């Protein structure tokens, strides 16, 4: 099992290029960043003040990962998570493909649907339709990433043949990991996803949740062993806790979730602590 690190990715954090280089030097497998293109002022009372402050100020994830890619050679680069429905289709397709090319095929695209208030600001898609719309957008993106004269006719997205280049370095595109936790959301994502990206704080019984995911994958005609299983570990997980995730079949754990201290000196201490067990968990 590999270990990655997720950054809040704000101006108060370590700069993406500096952080990425430090992670690679310490043996970490990947760097992950999230996104909030905008945060509605009306949502101010729905989250703790510190989290609201950070989400207001997050750097753009794709540009941040581009900086990280330029500073490293082997570190994988992930979004946790990107919000495709909050982007214009063709621009998003080109940006992702360009980043994957510049990164040498190291991109992992964790995707989700975000929150209702944010989607309402920038999209006509109804909240109830979000997972169907995400599946349709994924189909459109994969057409744009693989076909020279791409076309798509779906429920929410449709276009006549177009040229859209570059194509991603990875074929048929960077792995798409679904950040979904509820049974219906997981079922809606399984037909198209390349993997699963849950947070450990979402489950009271994680072994049961993993078993349920595998069963649903089989029922959807997917081979569970072919799916990338990545878990976001909240807080300051012990080595034993990380080993349990490995034993459950996760091939990657991403630490750093829930950290509020963005002092770079505290970040280095945190990374140094886990660098000592990176090799042991592989």
**Going by C-beta distance under 8 Å and a sequence separation of 6 or more, which residues neighbour residue 83?**
35, 36, 37, 111, 112, 113, 114, 118, 119
Tokens 């049961």 belong to residue: 208
Domain ranges of the chain: 2-281
Q: Mapping DSSP to helix (H, G, I), strand (E, B) and coil, where does residue 109 land?
A: strand
- Of the candidates 109, 137, 110, the one whose C-alpha atom is nearest the C-alpha of residue 197 is 110
Helix 130-146 / helix 89-102 crossing angle, nearest 10 deg: 50
pLDDT of residue 88: 98
pTM of the model: 0.96
Give the burial class of 204: count Cβ atoms within 10 A of its Cβ; 0-12 exposed, 13-18 middle, 19 or more buried: exposed
pLDDT of residue 265: 80
pLDDT digit string (tens) for the chain, length 282 residues: 999 999 999 998 999 999 999 999 999 999 999 999 999 998 888 878 877 888 889 999 999 999 999 999 999 999 999 999 999 999 999 999 999 999 999 999 999 999 999 999 999 999 999 999 999 999 999 999 999 999 999 999 999 999 999 999 999 999 999 999 999 999 999 999 999 999 999 999 999 999 999 999 999 999 999 999 999 999 999 999 999 999 999 999 999 998 766 677 889 999 999 998 998 888
pLDDT of residue 4: 98
Sign of the dihedral through C-alpha 214, 216, 218, 221: negative
The length of the chain is 282
Compute the half-sphere exposure of residue 246: CA atoms within 13 Å on the CB side of its CA: 16
Beta bridge partners of 107: 77
Sign of the dihedral through C-alpha 269, 272, 200, 195: positive
State how far the Cα of 195 lies from the Cα of 228, in Å rounded to an integer. Answer: 4
Instruction: Calculate the alpha carbon distances from 122 to 87, 126, 227 in Å.
Output: 8, 11, 31
- Of the candidates 189, 213, 39, the one whose C-alpha atom is nearest the C-alpha of residue 113 is 189
Q: Token pair of 65, please?
A: 């990962």
Distance of alpha carbon 257 from the chain centroid:
13
Q: Token pair of 91, please?
A: 């621009």
DSSP string for 63-90 = HHHHHHHHT-SS-EEEEEEE-GGGS-HH
pLDDT of residue 262: 64
**Going by C-beta distance under 8 Å and a sequence separation of 6 or more, which residues neighbour residue 259?**
8, 270
pLDDT of residue 47: 79
- Of the candidates 78, 196, 80, 89, the one whose C-alpha atom is nearest the C-alpha of residue 139 is 89
| Choices 3.40.50.720, 3.40.50.12160, 3.20.20.30, 2.40.50.180: CATH for 2-281 | 3.20.20.30
pLDDT of residue 50: 78
Q: Token pair of 19, please?
A: 């952080």
């Amino acid at each position: 099992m590999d270990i990655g690190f997720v950054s809040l990715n704000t101006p108060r954090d370590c700069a993406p290029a500096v952080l990425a280089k430090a992670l690679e030097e310490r043996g970490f497998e990947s760097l992950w960043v999230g996104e909030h293109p905008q945060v509605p002022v009306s949502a101010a009372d729905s989250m703790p003040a510190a989290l609201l402050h950070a989400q207001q100020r997050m750097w753009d994830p794709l540009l941040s990962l581009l900086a990280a890619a330029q500073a490293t050679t082997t570190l994988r680069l992930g979004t946790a998570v990107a919000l495709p429905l909050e982007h214009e289709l063709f621009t998003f397709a080109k940006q992702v493909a360009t980043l994957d090319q510049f990164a040498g095929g190291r991109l992992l695209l964790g995707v989700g649907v975000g929150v209702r208030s944010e989607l309402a600001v920038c999209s006509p898609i109804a909240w109830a339709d979000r997972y169907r719309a995400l599946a349709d957008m994924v189909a459109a993106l994969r057409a744009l990433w693989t076909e020279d004269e791409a076309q798509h006719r779906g429920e929410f997205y449709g276009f006549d043949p177009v040229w859209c280049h570059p194509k991603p370095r990875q074929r048929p595109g960077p792995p798409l990991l679904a950040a979904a936790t509820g049974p219906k959301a997981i079922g809606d994502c399984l037909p198209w996803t390349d993997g699963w990206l849950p947070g450990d704080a979402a489950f009271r019984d994680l072994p049961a949740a993993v078993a349920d995911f595998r069963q649903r994958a089989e029922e959807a005609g997917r081979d569970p062993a072919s799916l990338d299983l990545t878990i976001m570990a909240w807080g300051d997980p012990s080595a034993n806790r990380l080993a349990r995730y490995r034993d459950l079949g996760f091939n990657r754990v991403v630490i750093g979730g829930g950290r509020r201290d963005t002092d770079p000196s505290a970040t280095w201490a945190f990374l140094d602590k886990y660098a000592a067990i990176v090799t042991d968990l592989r």
